[in-house]
Amino acid sequence: MTATAETTTRPAAAPEGGAVDDGAARLAEAARRAAATPAAQGDHAALRERFAPLLAEIAAGAPARDRERRLPHAEVRALAEAGFTAVTVPAAHGGHGAGIETFFRLLIDLGEADSNLPQLLRAHFSHVEELLGGALDETDVHRLEAIARGDVIGNASHERSTATVGDLATTVVADGDGYRLDGEKHYSTGSLFADWIDVSARTEDGGRARVTVAADAPGVTLRDDWDGFGQILTGSGSSLFEGVHVPAAQVRVRPRGGDGVPTTQTSFLQLVLLSSLVGAGRAALRDAVGFVRSRTRVYSQGSGATAAQDPLVQQVIGRLSARVAAAEDAVLAAARALETARSATGEEREALIDAAELRTIQAQLTSVPDVLAVTTELFEVGGASATSTSRALDRHWRNARTLASHNPVIYQERAIGDRLLNGTGLLYFWSTGETPAKG
């Protein structure tokens, strides 16, 4: 399927222009090689080797994509065709069956290549995780198999309506043999690249539903109007749904009062963002090292024959590497806690879910300042030449700052403090909206 959009559509072929054509051809070839490599179920080292040529191609084009604001349609399609978007799909349904820690290691690898891409695919991987968290019926199996064949899922959940916190203005109502979907969403991350879109909506009785619609269904309009200064290639624009007919099998109604119930999904969703963030930090360190190694000019105040031999520059690089390592370790520790929780059963499950949620929030509170420091301090190694737009080193800070603005740290800090001091439960639910009127 091809998503329709007011300003951007997924191209059937690479855009005109030699450099872009060459890049698209290399991406396609890397995807074909990855797809032809025998599956290595669940092993990070083997999967990383499988996808390494494709990730290298994605990384090579990242600065130019950022400068030109060229959406990564070809890169997303290459990832799908290579099987990266099916890494957590069970082998029995055509995927790689990767566990949670392996998945997040791969997502950090992808984030280092281009930090836009893990966030862009957040709803996609969350959709797979939600399917795997329940008893699979025939429809679920068909969806997993379609994902293994290359289908991509997008997101449309956030609104800028006057609905109160926790409520939605988008509605899904019974209509003939199916449903009708109406509403407008903002921050519809990934939908411009998707075959299907997960839409959150309010039911007729005030409940909530998850609606999966075809991206090219009549009445669906996708806009490339995200105006943030970072993560500009995630397709996080707005989406409009006008009288969209949805088959009944694609509407999953949730019981009222289900928001805030302990779940592994909130930890999973936050860790996707943190993997993007850590990837941005690793890319900043990589580019700082490459920049220093390439420099032949030195400062009159310097202490080495080259920048790479200057002890002060070496000190900066060493400090950046420690902060990146600490951020990555924090995220992977939380991923291990999540893996333990999602496989637990019985009475201990809720306690393990709570422990994973707490560890994930703690990882957020340490990795955000670490990566923001890395993406700022990398400029200490090079003077004014490091600010050249041709290098696009500023994208690392812009992307990290934008990622860090999700689920703001100040509220997460308070939530942990309240929990430790007063025994208050964690929220397990994120939403924005108008404050309910009193009276």
Query: Are 147 and 200 within one domain?
Result: no
Query: Are 140 and 285 within one domain?
Result: no
Query: Are 248 and 305 within one domain?
Result: no
Q: Dmax over Cα atoms in the chain, in whole Å?
A: 78
Closest CA to 27 of 115, 141, 114, 125: 114
Query: How deeply is 241 buried, as exposed, middle or buried, from its count of CB atoms within 10 A (0-12, 13-18, 19+)?
Result: buried
Q: In the structure, what pLDDT confidence band is assigned to residue 369 with cuts at 50, 70 and 90?
A: very high
Q: Cβ(88)–Cβ(96) under 8 Å?
A: yes
What is the pLDDT at residue 39?
Answer: 62
Q: In the structure, what pLDDT confidence band is assigned to residue 437 with cuts at 50, 70 and 90?
A: low
Query: Are 200 and 53 within one domain?
Result: no
Query: Are 308 and 341 within one domain?
Result: yes
What is the pLDDT at residue 7?
Answer: 40
Query: Are 200 and 239 within one domain?
Result: yes
Q: What is the pLDDT of residues 33-63, one digit of tens each?
A: 999 887 666 689 999 999 999 999 999 999 9
Quick one: CA dihedral 179, 184, 186, 188, positive or negative?
positive
Whether pLDDT at 13 is above 60: no
Tell me the C-alpha distance between 412 and 181, whole Å.
Answer: 33
| 202 is a domain residue | yes
Q: In the structure, what pLDDT confidence band is assigned to residue 202 with cuts at 50, 70 and 90?
A: very high
* Residue positions counted in the chain: 439
Least confident interval from 70-74, 118-122, 300-304: 300-304
Q: Rounded to an integer, what is the distance from CA 1 to the centroid of its chain?
A: 22
Tell me the C-alpha distance between 111 and 90, whole Å.
Answer: 23
Type of residue found at 106: L
Mean pLDDT of 387-393: 92
Query: Are 304 and 410 within one domain?
Result: yes
Least confident interval from 1-15, 306-320, 351-365, 371-385: 1-15
- Expressed as residue numbers, the domain containing 270 is 265-422
Whether pLDDT at 116 is above 50: yes
Query: How deeply is 384 buried, as exposed, middle or buried, from its count of CB atoms within 10 A (0-12, 13-18, 19+)?
Result: exposed
Q: In the structure, what pLDDT confidence band is assigned to residue 393 with cuts at 50, 70 and 90?
A: very high
Whether pLDDT at 371 is above 60: yes
Tell me the C-alpha distance between 236 and 231, whole Å.
Answer: 9
Query: Are 221 and 276 within one domain?
Result: no
| 163 is a domain residue | no
Question: Which two structure tokens, joined as six digits, stand for 414?
Answer: 């308070």
What is the pLDDT at residue 234?
Answer: 97
Whether pLDDT at 279 is above 70: yes
| 289 is a domain residue | yes
Query: Are 249 and 271 within one domain?
Result: no
| 143 is a domain residue | yes
Q: What single DSSP character describes residue 379? A: G
| 260 is a domain residue | no
Share of the chain above pLDDT 90, in %: 77
CATH number at residue 179: 2.40.110.10
β-sheet bridge partners, residue 240: 184, 221
Q: What single DSSP character describes residue 3? A: -
pTM for this predicted structure: 0.91
Mean pLDDT of 333-347: 95
Mean pLDDT of 304-322: 93
Tell me the C-alpha distance between 119 and 277, whole Å.
Answer: 9
Question: How many distinct structural domains can be found in the chain?
Answer: 3
CATH number at residue 34: 1.10.540.10
What is the pLDDT at residue 49?
Answer: 94
Query: Are 234 and 307 within one domain?
Result: no
State the average pLDDT for the chain: 90
**Which of 121, 151, 181 is at the close of a domain?**
151
| 10 is a domain residue | no
What is the pLDDT at residue 362?
Answer: 98
What is the pLDDT at residue 276?
Answer: 98
Q: For 256-273, give the secondary structure using H, E and C.
A: CCCCCCCCCHHHHHHHHH
CATH number at residue 316: 1.20.140.10
